[in-house]
Structure 1
Amino acid sequence: MDAMILVFSAGVFAGAMNALAGGGSFVSLPALIAVGVPPVQANTSSTVALFPGGLASAWAYRDGLRPVGSVALRALLLATLCGGLVGAYLLLRTSSAAFTFVLPWLLLVASVALAFGRRFGEAMRTRWHIHASAVLAVQFVLGIYGGYFGCAVGIMMIAVWRLLDNCDLKYLNADRTLLVSAANAVAVVAFIVANAVRWPETLIMLMGAIIGGYSGARIGRRATPGTIRAITLLVTFCITLAFFVKTYAATLLIR
């Protein structure tokens, strides 16, 4: 019972984080590992649990979909779907030991993306302008990351798109939400077909994430962006640090 309360609470918190600033996987994944779900299966289960909330957001943004610069949205969608399928396959082929070893680094990449991704995009846009074909290639790679792990992939997408499109960031949110959901969608199908999901924990977390997503959207209307960002970054970096300590302290002790 205590384990399910933890999973449900993590779902609420993760759903709220995704609604406010992203990074919900920082909460959902550690919670599943904490209740005894193997690391790879915890990642697949977290992806499935948080997927409906992202899909609802994509539907809400549907009127704002548009090309990114000169790149058609369909081309970006196809690249993302293909990349997401590759990423899901790679995750399913990864052993729990290997995933446990690489997980702190994935969390660090996501933390840095959350903290500096948009600033990086702005800084690079003043110096570089990339061709549409390069955007599609990078989008395919981001799709792989999205299917494999996915945390903060939306921020990474926007940072790349800003090298091509000079529009206001808010006009890219609809495309970002759709393409993150696309990478997750093919991953979810692959995980379910491969029977790689722990359903009891996943369904409990899914219900919590729906509640958290709704609550987070309401909180977001009142809280200041600076407060939301500060809390999100504090949570993400603390969890990342905890995983580094847990993983590599254990390795040093074994040696």
Structure 2
Amino acid sequence: MSLTSLLLLFAGGVLAGCINVMAGGAGFMTFPLLIAAGLSEMEANAANFVALLPANVMGTLVYAKELKEVRQNLVLRLVIAVVGGVAGSLLFLHLGEANFHRAIPWLLVFATLSFALGPTIKTWLESHGDFDASRWLWLSFVLEFLVYLYGGYFGLGMGIMLLAIHSIFSHMSVHHANALRNITIGLMTFFSIFIFAQGGLIRWLPSLVMMTGAVVGGYGMAKIARRVPAGKVRIGILCWSIALTAFSFWRYS
């Protein structure tokens, strides 16, 4: 891989780290960048898991206090995350590249809609605080499992899906939901990376270069994130994700 490609991946990682701190959705940018650097679609998907892992690790540390306050059912949620993520990653390896190519456009549609509708869903749910979530907790666990299954296969957009589920089936704050999201996705990602590495899918040099950039970007942006209008960043990511989805239909359909 050329020095130019590595510098592009590092710069993309820096921007991805900034985006994740401000609004989330960095995977929409890193995925095509990895493909542009010469990775196959399956290698780019696997590399994305490595590159964006620090965001969840740092998020878990930041929300350590909130995590202690949502310990009820935490072990069960961690088990669900591991089982669902492992199943999704094994499915990813088993189905192979041809099936993944056919799935990419629809996976991007699903991820884009989740990202676009996330704030609207959250606002609507906050206006219906009389919902008795305790009666439907089992459904929450089922939906969480399906999200981790999807996440182990592709991953884009799963964070906002989990936030929506936690908003529906609990009265926890967004900070508590973020604490759960970060630790469960982080744990799932560790297992998925192990599975992809065993399958020979991870190209470590570009993955680690982009990961380094994401750490630098996330650390630097953490200090100035409150001064940046996250709403405008979200709009930019959404426009990019729509364009990427349209392109994927043209390329893979």
What TM-score comes out, normalization by structure 1 length? 0.87
Say if 1:97 and 1:240 are closer, same or farther in 2 by CA, change over 3 A: farther
Unaligned runs of 5+ in 2: none
SS at match of 1:221: helix
The question of whether the paired residues in 2 share the 8 Å contact of 1:68 and 1:164 is answered with: no
CA distance in 2, matches of 1:83, 1:122: 28
Q: Give runs of aligned pairs for residues 60-209 of structure 1, distance below 5 A.
A: 60-66=62-68, 72-123=73-124, 126=128, 129=132, 131-209=136-214
Q: Which moved more, 1:55-64 or 1:207-216?
A: 55-64
Say if 1:11 and 1:75 are closer, same or farther in 2 by CA, change over 3 A: same
CA distance in 1, matches of 2:252, 2:163: 36
Say if 1:167 and 1:250 are closer, same or farther in 2 by CA, change over 3 A: closer
Q: In structure 2, what residue type is equivalent to 1:179?
A: T
Unaligned runs of 5+ in 1: none
RMSD of aligned residue pairs (Cα, Å): 2.2
Q: In structure 1, what residue type is equivalent to 2:78?
A: L
Deviations 1:96-122 (A, max 9, x none): 233233223222222222221242244
Which residue number in structure 2 is paired with residue 46 of structure 1?
48
Say if 1:141 and 1:251 are closer, same or farther in 2 by CA, change over 3 A: closer
Count of residues in Structure 1 that have an aligned counterpart in Structure 2: 247
Deviations 1:162-193 (A, max 9, x none): 22212332232211211121221211121122
SS at match of 1:137: helix
Q: In structure 1, what residue type is equivalent to 2:192?
A: A
CA distance in 1, matches of 2:121, 2:237: 21
Q: Give runs of aligned pairs for residues 17-32 of structure 1, distance below 5 A.
A: 17-32=19-34
CA distance in 2, matches of 1:175, 1:155: 12
What TM-score comes out, normalization by structure 2 length? 0.88
The question of whether the paired residues in 1 share the 8 Å contact of 2:23 and 2:233 is answered with: no
SS at match of 1:167: coil
The question of whether the paired residues in 1 share the 8 Å contact of 2:118 and 2:160 is answered with: yes
Deviations 1:212-254 (A, max 9, x none): 111221231322xxx2222233223324323423x333467xx
> Cα offset for 1:67?
6.7
> Cα offset for 1:94?
3.2
Q: In structure 2, what residue type is equivalent to 1:45?
A: A
CA distance in 2, matches of 1:12, 1:184: 20
Q: In structure 2, what residue type is equivalent to 1:168?
A: S
The question of whether the paired residues in 2 share the 8 Å contact of 1:118 and 1:158 is answered with: no
The question of whether the paired residues in 1 share the 8 Å contact of 2:27 and 2:48 is answered with: yes
> Cα offset for 1:194?
2.0
CA distance in 1, matches of 2:182, 2:221: 16
The question of whether the paired residues in 1 share the 8 Å contact of 2:47 and 2:202 is answered with: yes
SS at match of 1:151: coil
Which residue number in structure 2 is paired with residue 10 of structure 1?
12
CA distance in 2, matches of 1:212, 1:206: 10
Q: Which moved more, 1:158-167 or 1:235-244?
A: 235-244
> Cα offset for 1:68?
5.9
